[in-house]
Amino acid sequence: MSTSNIRQGSLEIVDQEKIISRGSLYVAQARLIAMMKWFWMILAIAVANPVLYLLSIGVGVGAFIDKSAGAAGVDGVKYLTFLAPALLATAAIQGAIDESVFPTLEGFNWWKNFLGMNATPISGNQIATGVFLASLVRVVGTVIIYWFVMLAFGALESSKAWLAIPTAVMAGVAFGSITQAIAGLLKNENMFFVIFERFIMMPLFLFSGTFYPLTSMPIYLQWIGWISPLWHATELGRYLTYGHALTQTMAITHMVFLLTLLALGIFFSRRIFTMRLAK
C-alpha cells in the first residue's frame, strides 16, 4: 500500500467553496454520465417519436381532417401544423418525467444512492437541483430534435416558431419538477405508476386540446385543460408556430401558469428531498 506517504487529509484537500457553488452541477454530472450510457436509445426515441406521430396522425389522420375542413383548415391551418405544437410539448413532458421520476425512485428507494451522495457535503437541496438540471438537459435535447423534425414536415409557419422551443421546454420541466417532488414522497412506487399513467397522464394527453381545440370539448371537461401544463404550452406553441389567435392576457396567463408550476415543483422537490434525507 502506498497511501502512507502521500496522505494530505481532508482538511487540506476538500474544497468547501467549490462544493457550495457547484454541488448541484456534480449531481447533474453523475446523472448525465448515466444518461450517456443510454445515448443511442435516448436519441432513437427523440427522433422516432416525432417522426412516427407526425406521420401517422399529423399526415395520415390529417389528410381526412383537412379534406372535411376544407379551405378554412383547423384553426386556419393544416391539421399537421395544428397538432404538432401539442405533440412537441407532450414529448418534453414525457422526457422530463423519465429523467425526474426514475432517478428519484432509484435514489431513495431502489439503490439508495441519494443516501450515499448525502453522506458527502452535498445537501438534499443540491441533489434535487442536480436531478432537475440533468432532466433539463435531456428535455432541451429532445425538444430541439422534435422541432427540427417539425421543420422538416413543414409544420412551422411563423418566423417566431423557434420560440416554441423554450415554451415546450418550460412545460416539460415544470411538469417534471412536480413529478420529481411527488416521487420524492413515494415509499411504494408501484401504485404511483398505475395511478399516474392511467388516471393523470392519459386524460391530460387526451383532453388538453391536443387533437382538437379545447373549446370544442363540452364545457364540463374544459377544466382539465386549464389545470394541464400541456394545454398552456400547446396554446403558446400554436401561437408561436403558426399565429394561432391569442390575446396578450392569455399569453401572459399561460406563461405565469407554467412558471408558477416550475417554481412550486423546484421548491417542493428541494424541500422534500432535504426532509426525507434528514430522517
Q: Is 132 exposed, middle or buried (0-12, 13-18, 19+ CB in 10 A)?
A: buried
Closest distance to other proteins from the beta carbon of 10 (Å)? 4
Nearer to other proteins, 26 or 148 (CB): 26
> Does residue 4 bind other proteins (CB under 8 A)?
yes
Closest distance to other proteins from the beta carbon of 248 (Å)? 45
Tell me the three cell numbers of residue 242: 403558426
Q: Which of 112, 185, 221, 252 binds other proteins (CB under 8 A)?
A: 112
> Does residue 187 bind other proteins (CB under 8 A)?
no
> Does residue 279 bind other proteins (CB under 8 A)?
yes
> Does residue 29 bind other proteins (CB under 8 A)?
yes
Query: What is the pattern of x (binds other proteins, CB under 8 A) and - over residues 219-258?
Result: ----------------------------------------
Q: Is 162 exposed, middle or buried (0-12, 13-18, 19+ CB in 10 A)?
A: middle
CA angle (180 as vertex; 229, 165 as ends), nearest 5: 45
Residue 140 near residue 216 (C-beta atoms within 8 A): no
Nearer to other proteins, 95 or 229 (CB): 95
Closest distance to other proteins from the beta carbon of 234 (Å)? 33
SS3 (DSSP) at 121 = coil
d(CA 89, CA 229): 9
For the chain, report the end-to-end CA distance as a whole number of angstroms.
Answer: 38
Query: What is the pattern of x (binds other proteins, CB under 8 A) and - over residues 32-71?
Result: -xx--x----------------------------------
Tell me the three cell numbers of residue 84: 404538432
Tell me the three cell numbers of residue 219: 364545457
75 contact partners, CB below 8 Å, separation of at least 6: 82, 213, 238, 242, 244
Nearer to other proteins, 75 or 271 (CB): 271
> Does residue 105 bind other proteins (CB under 8 A)?
no
Q: Which residues bind other proteins (CB under 8 A)?
A: 1-4, 7-20, 22-23, 26-27, 29-30, 33-34, 37, 106, 111-123, 277-279
